Structure 1
């Protein structure tokens, strides 16, 4: 019972510190907008998503850029990205969900669809 109580106490202290510091409290497990879509990490995840989709669907999409993105802290990080990619000469937008656990060298494309 003590570890659970301690966990709750630490969570409350962290949330209180965020509020006192003038920050909005973080919604644990919630989706948050990615501020730097051009970061190496986001670019790597997006290119992985297109490459993995191409392997799974026997497709030939060409990655262009990340249009918008959100991340969610879970057992690792979930990424929800809208990616611009070319299908031949036609530019389209695709929504990709990727689950990433870099400390385990694990990355999984959980969903990829045209939007």
Structure 2
């Protein structure tokens, strides 16, 4: 029964910890599995939104690496690969997501070389 009060405090105060004991709220944590379907979904969303805004035809290829940050939702910083008219390019994207309110927003998208 000691576990129940601890779990309630974690829920109420929003304190969570990474495997190494680092506090995760507000800290950027490296994504260990860039091929995770959730991470890929965020990467694809970023490319789709960028294409809508810029009238581009980039195609999502993969997530190379990334970081996420728990805030009043989730911030995602990803390095991705996109295909642009036959050539592969790297991009950096920043996406904010608040799944409980069904909010997902592309904050920035930049092609890097």
Determine which structure has the larger helix proportion and give its number: 1
Compute the TM-score of the two structures, normalised by the length of structure 2.
0.80
Specify every segment of 5 or more residues in structure 1 that has no aligned partner in the other structure, as ranges. Answer: 1-6
1:4-59 alpha-carbon deviations (Å, 9 max, x no partner) = xxx8xx86xx68xx6xxx93332530110011111111111100000000000000
Residues paired across the two proteins, number: 100
Question: What is the root-mean-square deviation in Å for CA atoms of aligned residues?
Answer: 2.1
> 2:100 pairs with 96, 99, 103, which one?
103
Runs of 4+ in 1 over 2 A off after TM superposition: 22-25
1:23 and 1:35 map into 2 onto residues whose CA distance is 13
Compute the TM-score of the two structures, normalised by the length of structure 1.
0.79
> 1:76 pairs with 62, 73, 76, which one?
73
